[in-house]
Chain A
Amino acid sequence: MPLMLSSHLSSYISWPSPVHGLEPARVFPRMKTEQIADFSHARHEADARLLGLVAAGDSAALGELYDRFSRPLYATALRILNDPGEAQDIVHDAFVSVWEKASSFETTRGTAFSWVLTLTRNRAIDRLRSRRRRHELLETSTPSDLGLDENTSGPAANLAASTSDQASTLRAAVAALPADQQRALKLAFFSGLTQEEIAARLETPLGTIKARIRRGLLKLRDQLANRL
């Protein structure tokens, strides 16, 4: 029965899996802005339904969810840890956790993707902090922590640049933000630093850092609402 539901869901959504890398307008070239917003909404709704199936013990649904989410999750873990092996472990453990805790997901607290991403990112950051504590090699362990240059050398940088249209859309939206907001957001998301550490790293007052993060996220939200 769960498999049937999962298959039914796929046909309802009407896109091949995985779909995270595909821009709605590419799938439906004649869509207008409102239709694109509907598409985004439908995507999140489909993610939530899949998560519901996982909560019911549908391992096929978990596989489908993996296909949808694994690339951005893995990329994030790799970006944080700069170590492919550790990034794989993190993604694996995060999906095991999804399998075990799917029933605790609440749609009112964000999208299914944000929930799974939080599980992944928190694990990666925990491991990063643990590594820093062990080796006290903050500067050398994650050379691209600052997130200022996406093309810095290292295992992550050797991977192909984003070819995903959705990633391109996100990058464009982020690039449209003021540079100081971009720096604050990237550090906040990828570095595993606390607010105080970010302020110290950027040699900027803490209140200013908070304001940049707030403004940056709000602008990004508005831009994404228009673009997706």
Chain B
Amino acid sequence: MNAERHEDLAALAALDLLTTAEQAEFTVALAHHLELATLAASLRSTAAELAHIAPVAEPPADLKIRLLNSIAIQAKTARATLAQSPRLAILPFPTWIGFATAACFACLAAYFAQAYFNESALNSAFRDQQTLADLSLRSTKNQLAAERLITQRELADAVKRASDSAALITTLESRLAETKQQLFAQGTIADYKIATLASLLGNSSQAGAVAVWNPASQEGVLTVQKLPALAADKDYQLWVVDPQYSIPVDGGVFKVDPATGEGRLIFHPNRPVKTVAKFAVSLERKGGVPKAEGPMVLIGP
């Protein structure tokens, strides 16, 4: 609070013009600023001097006498009251009646005052309850509003997740369709042809092979075992016998492990194969030949 505000309050106080709020403010300020009390006292004294600018008027002479008489009567009454108070214990009967009546009135007044205060307390309690209920209602409203916001946010997230899921499902369905298409293109396992090839070699009767052929992809796998080791200028060559061709179709050349006689060939015939009648393996010169020349070592089924 600045000095000007203090002066304002002190000036208004000097003329008894403070509002209730200003009076409270002034009281607080007086407690904290000792110099304000001095200022207020000086302004009050100054304001009092304004009395001298009123048109001069002489009070009637008997006013002073009247005043002093009032004072004298008051003093006499006070003395008489003091003097009479010890005799209260021996009051005559009529005086006792008066006091009894007064006591009754006092009791009644106390009873009604008590009733009034009880009623006031009850009203106050109701008001407090009302206030609490209002607060609770406001709190619940706020909570509901917050929950609604959270729910809206969760709903938005769920919608977004559902949208993402739908997109994923679409993608998966698309992939599934592609896979199905590929599978369809590749054919099913039931369409695969699996054949075992038996040895035609007198000195290696345990030699053998398994061929798995996928007609859809025109691709196959040949696994051989216990074939004799090859000479450096030789290769084994696979042949696929298809009745539509006059000679077997070249399936490719392969080698075997000299120690175990095992080998594996993923083959793609150099001509389209419609029906596989047999698989055959021959011993050919290195690099293979277009038409089988060497001895057959495996055939099947």
- Interface residues in chain A, defined as those with a beta carbon under 8 Å from any beta carbon in chain B: 44, 57, 59, 62-63, 66-67, 70-76, 78-79, 84, 87-88, 91-92, 95-96, 99, 108-111, 113-114, 117-118, 121-122, 125, 150, 156-157, 159-164, 166-167, 170-171, 174, 185-186, 188-190, 194-195, 210-211, 213-214, 217-218, 220-221, 224
Q: Could you show 28 A-B contacts with beta carbons less than 8 Å apart?
A: A59-B72, A59-B75, A62-B67, A62-B68, A71-B58, A73-B51, A88-B59, A92-B63, A92-B66, A92-B67, A92-B70, A96-B71, A99-B74, A110-B44, A111-B45, A114-B44, A121-B16, A167-B53, A185-B15, A189-B47, A195-B19, A210-B8, A210-B11, A213-B17, A214-B4, A214-B12, A218-B11, A221-B46
In the bound assembly, the distance between CA atoms of A57 and B72 in angstroms comes to 11
Given known contacts A109-B41, A162-B55, A164-B52, is B68 in contact with A59 (CB within 8 Å)? yes
In the bound assembly, the distance between CA atoms of A121 and B66 in angstroms comes to 20
Of B15, B48, B59, B70, which contacts A188 at CB under 8 A? Answer: B15
Beta-carbon nearest neighbor of A213 in chain B: B11
Contacts of A125 in B (CB 8 A): 16
A contact face: mostly helix, strand, loop, or mixed: helix
Q: Are A110 and B45 in contact (CB under 8 A)?
A: yes
Of A67, A117, A171, A218, which contacts B48 at CB under 8 A? Answer: A117
Contacts of B292 in A (CB 8 A): none
Of A71, A88, A214, A218, which contacts B56 at CB under 8 A? Answer: A71
Interface residues contributed by chain B, number (CB under 8 Å): 42
Contacts of A70 in B (CB 8 A): 59, 63-64
Proximity string of chain B (240-264) to chain A, C-beta cutoff 8 Å, 1 when within and 0 when not: 0000000000000000000000000
Cβ of B42 under 8 Å from chain A:
yes
Q: Are A159 and B12 in contact (CB under 8 A)?
A: no
For the A-B complex with A59-B75, A214-B12, A220-B50 known, give 6 more contacts whose Cβ atoms are closer than 8 Å.
A79-B55, A121-B16, A125-B16, A161-B55, A170-B50, A213-B11
Q: Are B8 and A111 in contact (CB under 8 A)?
A: no
Q: Are B67 and A66 in contact (CB under 8 A)?
A: yes
Contacts of B17 in A (CB 8 A): 188, 194-195, 213
In the bound assembly, the distance between CA atoms of A67 and B8 in angstroms comes to 34
Given known contacts A88-B60, A189-B15, is B44 in contact with A109 (CB within 8 Å)? yes
Q: Are B46 and A167 in contact (CB under 8 A)?
A: no
